[in-house]
Structure 1
Amino acid sequence: MADRFFGWQVVWAAFALASFAWGIGFYGPGVWLHALAGGRGWSVAAVSGAITLHFLASALLVARLPAVQARLGLVAMLRAGLVLSAGGAVAWAAAPAPAWLVPAALLTGAGWAMTSGAAINAIVSRWFDRRRPAALAMAYNGASMGGIVFVPLWAALIGGIGFLPAAIAIGAIGMAVLWPVVGRWFAPDPAMLGQHADGAAAPPAPRAAAGVAGSLWSQPGFRSLSMAFALGMVGQMGLLSQVYSLMTPALGVAGAGWAVSLATVCAVLGRTAVGWLLPSGASRRGAAALNFLVQAAGSVALLAAGGTSAPLLVLACVLFGLGLGNLLSLPPLIAQAEWPAAQVGAVVALITAVNQAFYAFAPAIFGLLREVGGDWTVGAAALVLQLAAAAVLRGRR
């Protein structure tokens, strides 16, 4: 057996992959919207529609991700995702008219499906069992790093050299760095290196979870889990799409930007704390419900701020941010506790697909609410969704 456990190296490689995946597939479209609508004068509605298509296409594919992985193998699937993501970003930038965003969105949607949440879980879960909460937290922190690094990087490069050269540069660098990383760190599994999950001396004992016969949709536990996180993700994505402009009058442009960055930093802190401090015997659904309640407290602070109180707006960002990252990392941990190991990949993939299918419409829904009812509706809608998500989780296991 090798002296050093290889799994933690895999986690850091997954962190790097997540940074690139979220930098293009999650945070990229928001920057591209500004570049295409502001720089080329294209319709905001047309570009926003392409962004929705990007997430819906990803949702359709990610539901089948375990089958894709079984057919292609993990390494080939991840490398295909890198090619599709990088090529798709170039297609967005090179589009001569809004209609060309449709094939571009299909490309980036497929790339996002093959490299994002369900794929990261597939990478890490082979190497960790008991310590999977901590390992997933570290790997998924790459998603937050993608926002911290890639949003200003996209903005700077687009402003400096143009959208198409920026897309070519980011895609090429990502491919050059991550193509060998995928082969070096994701091709081996513990058995190939004579190791066991968590670096233990023996394989972990099988978990007691027995699963339920029939399709996942026929299982009440799966329906409640997917519904809760779909509601929570709609609230989270809707709030994220509006919070910057809501805070600008009180904090200014720079201050609002720093507040959003603070929320991202708090997401890393919150995810890391749950990953490392969650007791092994604790209810993971209970932890998720508490996470939604922390975010709900942030929505209450946003409502109380009324768009004018800077301290309350900052507090809202802190509370909302502390729960931000856990909406990504907690579903795989709940699935690990409640389903047999052979079913966990399918559970995570389908929950990810449901989440993406729902939150693809969140920016449009929250924007319409704000336009019709005023700024206060953003915090109110997020609060209702967060409380509903917590109630669904606590109501049925």
Structure 2
Amino acid sequence: MIAGTRIDESSPRYRGWRVVLACFMMAFFMFGFGLYGQGVYLAELQRAHGWPGTLISAASTFSFLLTSVLVIFTDDLLARIGLRALILCGLSALGASTVLLALMQTPWQLYLAYALMSVGWTGMGTVVIATVLNSWFEQRRGLALSLAFNGATCGGIILVPLLLSLTGSIGFRSAMLAATLAMMVLVLPVVVTFIGWPAGTLPSPGGRVSGAAAPVHSRKALLANAAFWTMVLPIAIALLAQMGFIIHQVTFLEPLIGRASAGLAVTIMAAMAIVGRLSLGLFVDRLDPRLACAASMTSQAAALFVALQSTSPTVLLACCAVYGFSIGNMITFPPLIIQREIGSSAFAAAMGLGTSISGIVSAFGPGIVGLVRSFTGNYTTAFALCVVLDLVAAGVVLWRPGRRAEIAARRVD
């Protein structure tokens, strides 16, 4: 899959590590604005415009659903317009989205902003990052993925508290415009300078690299692959619960522990996600990714269950820390399982299709949590549902296809 396999990937001079830096910056702002920041938008847009939480939550669901459709075609877009052009389109769309969020006055503008955010996800999200790093790394692939995706977690640690702090001092509009300007100044240079494919390679539809002796993998064949489904479905279910909690976290915690402590909880959760992802990256070759995935889902269920039983700031912050330990790995496990059980030749196609399916399912998380909260008047039932979903997902991911299915998975046609 990669060019120049004779190069020592552990060397700081290897160009792939500069690509990791660029991917880190992309993930920082894409996840900071596009995922963790949505909890801030929910609270601030309600406060500024008096819009119901269900309206804003539905916009989040719409955005994630649209993203899930668009990412199916990521491998085709990479081949047709090129890696750098796709990323720059995504960066421009994300910038337009955050500017519109700052300036909007009517609900239709909210949906336009979230549609632009979906284009940003297509150009700067998980599938693009995983695919480009898969082409640069073989021996250190797990570590490279972990380091790059830690940018997503750092977006929660730094960007969300910064937005909350700036909003309190200069207002939501000015805070969003300042953060957008910072994104353009920091991300644009590293993308233009560092992003590219390894010398002598060019991706083609289906996730192949030119010159590689690998068959084209159809999406239909992947959908008939048992190993593919026993990876996609549990991840999708767990992400549904996770997305619902992340988007509603600030709104859930603010009445219990105050605005500042709610921001601290987001920071703690994101910091623990870094610890969890780095732990996986360092020991990835020694772990069974399915078993580790099930353990992560179970720990999230336990943390959320305890959080529902307490109003103590200390306990709630501790629960957010435990929950956060596994957050980052929910997007790191799929490429690791795909690489082991489906293979490199179908990587981009499987990542795109898997991300789409899990994205469609998980997109309902914010809307479902918001809807249940509206009906019940509190988050208890909504988050209890998330606990059940995590436990179901942990059971499903441990179901392994038989040996024949494993062999067929590597020969997907």
Deviations along 1:272-303, one digit per CA (max 9) or x if unpaired, are: 101112334x4221221122122223234334
- Which residue of structure 1 lines up, in the alignment, with residue 323 of structure 2? 320
With over 3 angstroms needed to count, the CA separation of the structure-2 counterparts of 1:29 and 1:291, relative to structure 1, is closer
- Which residue of structure 1 lines up, in the alignment, with residue 392 of structure 2? 388
Give the deviation of 1:213 after TM superposition.
9.2
- Which residue of structure 2 lines up, in the alignment, with residue 227 of structure 1? 233
2:311 counterpart SS class: coil
**Aligned pairs for 1:52-201 within 5 A:** 52-191=61-200
Q: Are 1:339 and 2:346 matched, yes or no?
A: no
From 276, 292, 297, the counterpart of 2:297: 292
Deviations along 1:304-330, one digit per CA (max 9) or x if unpaired, are: xx2234554344223211111100111
- Consecutive unaligned residues of structure 1, counting only runs of 5 or more, are 193-205
From 44, 50, 58, the counterpart of 2:59: 50
1: CA distance between counterparts of 2:265 and 2:343? Answer: 41
Is residue 239–residue 378 contact of structure 1 (8 Å, CA) maintained in 2? no
Give the deviation of 1:211 after TM superposition.
8.2
1: CA distance between counterparts of 2:266 and 2:54? Answer: 24
Q: Are 1:358 and 2:361 matched, yes or no?
A: yes
**Aligned pairs for 1:195-344 within 5 A:** 214-248=220-254, 251-280=257-286, 282-303=287-308, 306-344=309-347
2: CA distance between counterparts of 1:252 and 1:165? Answer: 23
With over 3 angstroms needed to count, the CA separation of the structure-2 counterparts of 1:169 and 1:249, relative to structure 1, is closer
With over 3 angstroms needed to count, the CA separation of the structure-2 counterparts of 1:173 and 1:309, relative to structure 1, is closer
Is residue 211–residue 339 contact of structure 1 (8 Å, CA) maintained in 2? no
Q: CA RMSD in A?
A: 2.9
Matching residue's letter, 1:153: L
Give the deviation of 1:391 after TM superposition.
1.0
Give the deviation of 1:355 after TM superposition.
2.5
Aligned pairs, number = 381
Is residue 18–residue 139 contact of structure 1 (8 Å, CA) maintained in 2? yes
Q: Percent identity?
A: 33
2: CA distance between counterparts of 1:157 and 1:135? Answer: 32
1: CA distance between counterparts of 2:197 and 2:219? Answer: 32
- Consecutive unaligned residues of structure 2, counting only runs of 5 or more, are 202-211, 402-413
- Which residue of structure 2 lines up, in the alignment, with residue 11 of structure 1? 20
Is residue 19–residue 145 contact of structure 1 (8 Å, CA) maintained in 2? yes
Matching residue's letter, 1:215: A
1: CA distance between counterparts of 2:220 and 2:356? Answer: 19
Runs of 4+ in 1 over 6 A off after TM superposition: 210-213
Give the deviation of 1:43 after TM superposition.
4.0
Deviations along 1:109-137, one digit per CA (max 9) or x if unpaired, are: 11122101111112211111232111111
Is residue 161–residue 267 contact of structure 2 (8 Å, CA) maintained in 1? no
1:395 counterpart SS class: coil
Is residue 235–residue 385 contact of structure 1 (8 Å, CA) maintained in 2? yes
Matching residue's letter, 2:380: W
TM-score with structure 1 length normalisation? 0.86
Give the deviation of 1:160 after TM superposition.
4.4
- Which residue of structure 1 lines up, in the alignment, with residue 381 of structure 2? 377
1:229 counterpart SS class: helix
2: CA distance between counterparts of 1:260 and 1:166? Answer: 18
With over 3 angstroms needed to count, the CA separation of the structure-2 counterparts of 1:36 and 1:298, relative to structure 1, is closer
Give the deviation of 1:161 after TM superposition.
4.4
- Which residue of structure 2 lines up, in the alignment, with residue 195 of structure 1? none
Matching residue's letter, 2:285: P
Deviations along 1:209-264, one digit per CA (max 9) or x if unpaired, are: x9899432121211221110110001112223444455456644433432332221
- Which residue of structure 1 lines up, in the alignment, with residue 351 of structure 2? 348
